[in-house]
């Protein structure tokens, strides 16, 4: 019998009969898992290790392109650490949102790394994977049925827009994970998933309350970020039938009532609610009580099942190829007039590069020191230096490169009113100052789809490592 089978058998007919110890090993697998805290966590003989591996916050590029945000080597190191740890204790390992964005190419890359680690370390285990991709046909039908709604003001999704999506995923929930966990497995790696499913699916199967399990999951998916000081070290949750206790596995990080409660604010627009595909958790009556100087007891989360199941979908489409120019200025007259200068030069550039073709590109400038990060305030003084990042998105990389190279030359020598510095308007930290970045993407799907009764979007597949 394998790791999940053993636990399910142990709890058979004995719902939540003993506390469950769950390790949140990493908030984003692939950026390094500090070994001392992870090993300290293993020493506490946990029942489950979970790691979140991705997020939408990193932007549309990774989802669209299929690339990982983390480096191959550090991703492999982290995967090896958690896989060897889980196999050593013969406990389940659950990883959600494989490869940064959780679409097929991300899951494939993650499985490839797992294969290498299994071979190199002669591991034997049973792996379940759950792809997170959603078929465009399914979504197209839902659009036609009026079952797709944009999130936070996202424009209505049309069939045509959908067809441009390069990768389309849905955030699967605990129900999908449970289907895989029931297959007597050792390791579960999913495509795009709710970060809560990683840690809540198994406890719910073992009879722990849903609200409590999801609340716990929502906190420990960020590892020790809920502590003072917050950090990425492994955290241990001990789940009981009516509360859970959090303790960081790094001695300097304290899980205090205030810091744990404050974690509900992080990257959320409502600290009192956690929304899941199958319902929501109400935290209005959650309580946080200090147990000792390093741990906190949490209870009171309420689960409210949804009458209809929904899936949050994410998709990205290619918008072109990006090239950029990086340079600076320390000339007060240039800085004072930069807005007009950039507008004027962009016209000069357009007239040159569009001599024998259409204006098929877009040009943006980010003027650091002025308003490169946020809108300029009325009373803000002008800085002594500015950095200019000029980006072009065009149909091809050659076209984008042509535009920024032309921009560089004409901006360098542009004769604006009152110019004193006829040697050149720009400083380059290195040459070439133009950089070709390649494919550029945008989110075109960030929508909720109401699923049909009994509709099964995500299906587990088994892989045996002998």
| Residues at the contact surface with another protein, assessed by CB under 8 A | 56-61, 151-154, 258, 261-262, 264-272, 286, 288, 319, 362, 364, 366, 372-375, 377, 393, 440-443, 446
Strand partners, 386: 329
Length of the chain: 466
Minimum distance from residue 198 beta carbon to another protein (Å)? 19
Nearer to another protein, 241 or 262 (CB): 262
Nearer to another protein, 368 or 414 (CB): 368
Minimum distance from residue 46 beta carbon to another protein (Å)? 27
Minimum distance from residue 345 beta carbon to another protein (Å)? 18
Nearer to another protein, 172 or 256 (CB): 256
Minimum distance from residue 140 beta carbon to another protein (Å)? 22
| Residue 376 exposure: Cα atoms within 13 Å on the Cβ side | 14
Question: With 0-12 CB in 10 A as exposed, 13-18 as middle and 19+ as buried, what is 136?
Answer: middle
Minimum distance from residue 86 beta carbon to another protein (Å)? 31
Tokens read off for 409: 């030359």
d(CA 31, CA 24): 15
Minimum distance from residue 57 beta carbon to another protein (Å)? 6
Q: Which CA distances in Å does 242 have to 210, 238, 239, 431?
A: 11, 11, 8, 63
Nearer to another protein, 10 or 270 (CB): 270
Q: Which CA distances in Å does 306 have to 70, 406, 451?
A: 35, 56, 12
Tokens read off for 465: 């490592």
Q: Would you say 366 and 429 are in contact if contact means Cβ atoms under 8 Å apart? A: no
Minimum distance from residue 16 beta carbon to another protein (Å)? 26
Nearer to another protein, 119 or 287 (CB): 287
| Residue 353 exposure: Cα atoms within 13 Å on the Cβ side | 26
E strand or H helix at 396, and its extent? none
Nearer to another protein, 368 or 416 (CB): 368
d(CA 367, CA 383): 11
The one-character DSSP state at 208 is -
d(CA 390, CA 327): 9
Minimum distance from residue 132 beta carbon to another protein (Å)? 17
**Which regions of 240-385 does DSSP assign to beta strands (E)?**
244-248, 273-276, 279-282, 287-292, 295-299, 302-305, 310-329, 362-368
Nearer to another protein, 199 or 288 (CB): 288
């Amino acid at each position: 019998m394998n790791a999940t089978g053993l636990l399910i058998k142990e709890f058979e007919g004995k719902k939540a009969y003993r506390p469950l110890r769950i390790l949140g090993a990493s908030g984003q697998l692939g950026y390094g898992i500090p070994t001392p805290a992870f090993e300290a966590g293993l020493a506490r003989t946990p029942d489950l290790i979970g790691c979140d591996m991705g997020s939408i916050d990193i932007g549309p590029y990774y989802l669209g392109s299929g690339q990982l945000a983390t480096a191959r080597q550090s991703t492999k190191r982290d995967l090896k650490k958690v896989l060897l740890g889980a196999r050593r204790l013969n406990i389940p390992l659950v990883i959600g949102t494989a490869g940064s964005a959780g679409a097929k190419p991300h899951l494939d890359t993650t499985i490839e790394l797992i294969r290498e680690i299994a071979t190199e370390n002669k591991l034997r285990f049973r792996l379940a994977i759950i792809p997170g991709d959603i078929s465009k046909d399914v979504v197209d039908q839902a659009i036609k049925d009026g079952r797709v709604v944009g999130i936070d003001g996202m424009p209505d999704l049309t069939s045509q827009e959908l067809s441009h999506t390069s990768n389309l995923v849905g955030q699967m929930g605990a129900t999908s994970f449970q289907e895989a966990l029931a297959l007597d497995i050792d390791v579960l790696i999913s495509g795009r998933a709710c970060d809560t499913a990683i840690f809540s699916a198994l406890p719910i199967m073992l009879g722990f309350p849903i609200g409590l399990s999801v609340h716990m999951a929502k906190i420990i998916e960020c590892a020790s970020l809920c502590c003072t000081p917050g950090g990425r070290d492994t955290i241990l949750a001990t789940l009981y039938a009516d509360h859970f206790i959090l303790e960081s596995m790094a001695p300097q990080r304290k899980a205090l009532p205030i810091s744990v409660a404050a974690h509900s604010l992080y990257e959320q627009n409502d600290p009192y609610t956690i929304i899941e595909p199958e319902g929501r958790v109400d935290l209005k009556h959650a309580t946080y009580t200090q147990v000792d100087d390093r741990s906190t007891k949490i209870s009171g989360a309420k689960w409210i099942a949804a009458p209809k199941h929904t899936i949050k979908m994410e998709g990205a489409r290619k918008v072109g190829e990006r090239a950029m120019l990086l340079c600076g200025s320390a000339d007060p007259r240039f800085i004072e007039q930069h807005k007009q200068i950039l507008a004027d030069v962009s016209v000069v550039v357009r007239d040159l590069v569009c001599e024998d073709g259409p204006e098929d590109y877009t040009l943006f400038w980010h003027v650091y020191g002025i308003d490169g990060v946020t809108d300029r305030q009325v009373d803000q003084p002008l800085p002594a230096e500015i950095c200019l990042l000029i980006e072009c998105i065009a149909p091809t990389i050659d076209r984008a490169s042509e535009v920024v190279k032309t921009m560089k030359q004409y901006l360098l020598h542009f004769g604006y009113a009152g110019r004193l510095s006829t040697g050149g308007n720009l400083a380059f930290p290195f040459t070439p100052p133009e950089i070709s970045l390649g494919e550029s993407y945008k989110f075109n799907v960030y929508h909720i789809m109401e699923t049909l009764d009994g509709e099964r979007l995500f299906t587990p597949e088994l892989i045996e490592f002998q």
